[in-house]
Amino acid sequence: MSQLNKFKRHTVTSALPYANGPLHIGHLAGAYLPADIFVRYLRLKKKDVVYICGSDEHGAAITIKAKKEGTTPQAIIDKYHNQIKDSFEEFGIAFDIYHRTSSPIHHDLSQEFFLNLYEKDEFIEKYSEQYFDEDYGQFLADRYITGTCPNCGYEHAYGDQCENCGTSLNPTDLINPISTLSGKAPILRPTKHWYLPLDKYQPWLESWIDKKEGEWKVNVFGQCRSWLKSGLQPRSMTRDLDWGIDVPLDEAKGKKLYVWMDAPIGYISATKQWAIDNGKDWKAYWKKQKNEEDNSCLIHFIGKDNIVFHCIIFPSILHAHGEYILPQNVPANEFLNLEGEKLSTSRNHAVWLHEYLEEFPGKQDELRYVLTSILPETSDSEFTWKDYQARVNNELVAILGNYVNRVMILMHKFYDGKVETESGEIKLTDNLLNAQLGEFYTELDQNLENYKFRQALQNVMDIARLGNKYLTDKEPWKTIKTNPDDAKEALHNCLFLIAHLATCLQPFLPGTATKIFGMLNYNLSGVSFGDAIKFENGHQLNPAALLFEKVEDEVIEKQVQKLLDKKQAAAVTKQTLVAAKENISFESFAAMDIRTGTILAAEKVAKTKKLLKLTIDTGIDERTVVSGIAEYYEPEAIIGKQVSILVNLEPREIKGILSQGMILMAEDSEGKLCFVSPVDALHNGSVVR
Ligand SMILES: [Zn+2]
């Protein structure tokens, strides 16, 4: 029996994207495209399914981004929530709801979960030493701290996870921890937190996960086993942060829930909101039913960096709560690389979805097709623009588009687009075609059910390949003169293939499927997976329209160049930064007498390009300083400006002028100079230290 038929309902989720940046093709290929294909397939089979996603709007990643952009966390989440939501809509990712974890319904439900576990005495409450940044007066949770991963040696692991090996960490596990706020080594301070006793759940987790062997993907199952083997530790579910969901306890004022406690609960709160909006019962999709066979089938689509949260931590929370179903499967994908390198937000090495939409308007299905063809289902895979071009030109244009176009043109040329026979019956008359079509459906069904979307897409393309071969064999453009009945029969058979092709394309290329049904003048909403297609005698087709366009070389070259330019820009900034100098004693520093002063007069030094002669009021005296800033500042523009000046530098003669001291300047990687001035006006002669 098909796995799918075991369940009355399906609850499908895609990982909640962090609302701290736009989406790129790696996101799409990781957790969204596969889930969307799967959900569209279930809907095509008329299954009861709800597809849930939303923005993850809590956690240190949000507050750090806000600080970086000089704005508020609220402004960050509003901006990126809307941008991400738009991108998903444009690419046809057909969520039933795209929700937000900043919503009150989500805050309420997350607190309810916490209190449920708290009242059952599940948490371990303990004071522990946590890292604290003295300069910023703040504890360093999660992404506020980086260091070397004790598991794999990766140097940029975060306080809660190493993104290189996927291991979940505590900040105190990091080797050489550094605060991302001050860039300094933090100190330890005691603070109280509430820990989920994963060690206590370990035996239960082991027996639950053991049963998934053979059903879960090898990479997912293997990761879980390896974590269990090394032994689970209690994990804090609370944080000392100022952004997030309040811990609902009087003694925890100012503390927030750990973002990975609340984020997965976001799937449930989003379902609740959807149920309210649509008059449905959310409990049927999440809670254990009286009879086990009535439970919904819960499936989490994620990228491999989220496996620990969806296979270990969230199931432990659901188990401890007791009323909820557990995931049936977690088909995590590996990573997608780009042009031979890892996709990287920080290095801007990515194909951004919002940029693609601008540069390739109306070509969403082309990207869906290419990404589905190379989904990192069992190992990392790679996107290149050359491959994009080859797949669009050699497969979408040459096979799929060509087949549909040829048939439609001939139908209009010979019969004015009318599907008509004298017998009054229109049916698929070729037994061989019928049998082959049946085989494709069976394979397609199996592949989709087993999350093998790459192979499934090939099954669909095989229908188009079959059609092209059939059309070439039958040559209706010749037989129309010698045996017109044969020509008509062949073209009608081709139309049936097109209708089946469009049906099967729906999960993969929804826009293209809609276009084809439009040409066929066929009602798409009545179509279901594997059903017979019917044409009434006299059915009128709509005019043929082109499905895909060839991608020209210069389009691809431009994209490759764009990536190279970004890389170069990133490299320039990085390489030209001077390495840190050796440590000096405080005494050496204190020996420098740096003061604030005001520029009283400024003039160019004759016969030089770079030098200005400045008269400075240092508070202690008025003196002359020669400074190499003429390329950056006009003399008249800087009179009255307050600067920092090193007053005890040995006087030196420059171009015949005695220079007494040095103005402090900051120099960027391109050599641009800028005064280091006090932010607020100070008395001249104030000491800089
Ligand atoms: Zn690691």
Q: Rounded to whole angstroms, how far apart are CA atoms 249 and 263?
A: 20
Q: How far is the CA of 682 from the centre of ligand 1 (A)?
A: 48
Q: How far is the CA of 161 from the centre of ligand 1 (A)?
A: 8
Alpha-carbon torsion (555, 558, 559, 560), positive or negative = positive
To the nearest 10°, the Cα dihedral for 54, 60, 63, 65? -80
Residue 609 neighbours by CB distance under 10 Å: 9
Measure Cα distances from 417 to 145, 412, 430, 476, 491 in Å.
66, 4, 21, 15, 11
Q: How far is the CA of 466 from the centre of ligand 1 (A)?
A: 48
Look up tokens 């540069």; give the residue.
Answer: 359
Under 8 Å between Cβ of 327 and 310: yes
Measure Cα distances from 209 to 35, 203, 221 in Å.
22, 10, 8
510-520 and 364-373 helices cross at what angle (nearest 10)? 120
Q: How far is the CA of 176 from the centre of ligand 1 (A)?
A: 14
Q: How far is the CA of 154 from the centre of ligand 1 (A)?
A: 5
Look up tokens 């996927």; give the residue.
Answer: 166
Q: Rounded to whole angstroms, how far apart are CA atoms 687 and 233?
A: 51
Q: How far is the CA of 329 from the centre of ligand 1 (A)?
A: 25
3-class SS at 180?
Answer: coil
Q: With a cut of 70, list the residues of the chain below it in pLDDT.
A: 1-2, 572-579, 669-671
Helix residue ranges, H only, 191-294: 198-210, 218-230, 259-278, 283-286
Question: Of 480, 364, 407, 416, which Cα lies nearest the Cα of 36?
Answer: 364
Q: How far is the CA of 383 from the centre of ligand 1 (A)?
A: 25
Q: How far is the CA of 231 from the centre of ligand 1 (A)?
A: 16
CA angle 181, 102, 311 (to 5 degrees): 80
Under 8 Å between Cβ of 421 and 488: yes
pLDDT at 1: 44
Q: Rounded to whole angstroms, how far apart are CA atoms 609 and 628?
A: 9
Q: How far is the CA of 577 from the centre of ligand 1 (A)?
A: 27
Q: How far is the CA of 409 from the centre of ligand 1 (A)?
A: 58
- Joined together, the tokens standing for residue 363 give 């070509």
- Joined together, the tokens standing for residue 74 give 């609220």
3-state secondary structure 514-526: HHHHHHHCCCHHH
> Phi and psi for 149 in degrees, rounded to 5?
-70, 125
Q: How far is the CA of 371 from the centre of ligand 1 (A)?
A: 27
Tell me the residue type at 414: F
3-class SS at 616?
Answer: strand
Helix residue ranges, H only, 484-633: 484-505, 510-520, 553-575, 586-590
Q: How far is the CA of 599 from the centre of ligand 1 (A)?
A: 53
Measure Cα distances from 639 to 108, 235, 310, 599, 615 in Å.
59, 59, 62, 5, 9
Q: How far is the CA of 653 from the centre of ligand 1 (A)?
A: 56
HSE value, Cβ hemisphere, 13 Å, CA-based, for 670: 5
Q: What is the tens place of the pLDDT at every residue in 98-128?
A: 999 999 999 999 999 999 999 999 999 999 8
Q: How far is the CA of 646 from the centre of ligand 1 (A)?
A: 46
Q: How far is the CA of 172 from the centre of ligand 1 (A)?
A: 14
Q: How far is the CA of 164 from the centre of ligand 1 (A)?
A: 5
Measure Cα distances from 356 to 16, 352, 366, 368, 562 in Å.
22, 6, 11, 12, 12
Q: How far is the CA of 151 from the centre of ligand 1 (A)?
A: 5
Q: How far is the CA of 169 from the centre of ligand 1 (A)?
A: 9
